[in-house]
């Protein structure tokens, strides 16, 4: 078992840290607010007063923070991971960030004497709690082999998808698929409600056919109940779709459906709905149909 430092104990990071404790690892966590640190300690982990305090003796350092600038801020600088982790430590970034930033930071980590993999996750809060996340990993074969025993404590489907940055590229594709599926589901629910159909029964039978998906399973009832308590916030999906559209432009390809949904998500965030679950796309879809 490893000594693991995890930086970022949010909706995803805290249950991931708890699962690593349950798997037998020695886990130390740091977060900007104290309550999640206290929750980790109550689950058998340890708390740290700073990033430097968390990582100084760790075999593995995990970062799970919202965006590219957050990751850069955590790993760079005098108080960051690269300046304070012990030589030979492995850095696993479970955040979802720009592929080019992931590649650049991995190169910095290797130059500083660390291993590095970008390993963004999919599965939302429930996947994190259940320890069944899907994890797409970019980095060298050797670093992937080192990371695997740790990642097995938080995920079920763990795949090495290529060199540094590849994990983030696959995660961007994941977020594109999820966003378009959520929007399609929202439109289907509005459609069903407009005809007065028994929506519970309709989603049950749709879920058993080709239209079935994890999005339908996890988000359909939330839409029916108008329950948009966050499992994955619209603001974060907005960030991820920005990564998708920027990377697509860089690659010279068109993502028409993804771009359209990205605009809808941006609209919701701009009007103040960014803290809602991404199933909150239903709100705008219903309003556009005149069925608020």
Catalytic residues: 171
CB-based contacts of 158, cutoff 8 Å, min separation 6: 134, 135, 137, 148, 151, 152
Q: Check if the beta carbon of residue 56 is closer than 8 Å to that of residue 48.
A: no
Measured CA to CA, the distance from residue 149 to residue 28 in angstroms comes to 17
C-alpha distance from residue 66 to each of 2, 53, 213, 268 (Å): 25, 21, 26, 19
Torsions phi, psi for 49 (to 5 deg):
-90, -10
The Cα 132–Cα 129 span in angstroms is 8
- Name the residue among 207, 219, 199 with its Cα closest to residue 278: 219
Find out whether 150 and 137 touch, Cβ atoms under 8 Å.
no
Cα dist. 234→8, 65, 93, 223 in Å? 19, 15, 21, 14
* Alpha carbons 193 and 171: distance in angstroms, whole number: 33
Residue 48 to residue 46: CA distance in whole angstroms: 7
Structure tokens at 126: 């429930």
H/E segment holding residue 113: none
């Amino acid at each position: 078992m490893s000594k693991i430092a995890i930086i970022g104990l949010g909706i995803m990071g805290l249950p991931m840290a708890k699962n690593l404790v349950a798997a037998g690892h020695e886990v130390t966590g740091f977060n900007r607010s104290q309550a999640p640190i206290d929750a980790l300690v109550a689950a058998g982990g340890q708390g740290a007063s700073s990033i430097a305090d968390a990582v100084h003796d760790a075999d593995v350092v995990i970062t799970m923070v919202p965006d590219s600038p957050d990751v850069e801020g955590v790993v760079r600088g005098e108080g960051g991971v690269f300046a304070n982790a012990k030589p030979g430590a492995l850095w696993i970034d479970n955040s979802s960030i720009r592929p080019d930033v992931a590649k650049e930071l991995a190169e910095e980590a290797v130059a500083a004497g660390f291993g590095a993999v970008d390993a963004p996750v999919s599965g939302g809060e429930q996947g994190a709690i259940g320890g069944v996340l899907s994890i797409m990993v970019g980095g060298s074969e050797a670093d992937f082999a080192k990371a695997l025993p740790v990642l097995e404590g938080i995920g079920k489907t763990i795949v090495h998808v290529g060199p540094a940055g590849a994990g983030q590229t696959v995660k961007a594709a994941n977020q594109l698929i999820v966003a378009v599926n959520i929007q399609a589901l929202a439109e289907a629910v509005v459609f069903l409600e407009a005809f007065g159909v028994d929506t519970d029964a309709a989603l049950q039978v749709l879920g058993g056919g080709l239209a079935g998906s994890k999005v339908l399973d996890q988000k359909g009832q939330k839409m029916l109940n108008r329950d948009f308590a966050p499992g994955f916030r619209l603001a974060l999906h907005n960030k991820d779709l920005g990564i998708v559209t920027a990377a697509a432009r860089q690659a010279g390809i068109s993502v028409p459906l993804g771009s359209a949904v990205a605009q809808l998500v941006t609209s919701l965030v701009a009007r103040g709905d960014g803290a809602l679950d991404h199933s909150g796309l239903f709100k705008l879809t219903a309003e556009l149909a005149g069925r608020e």
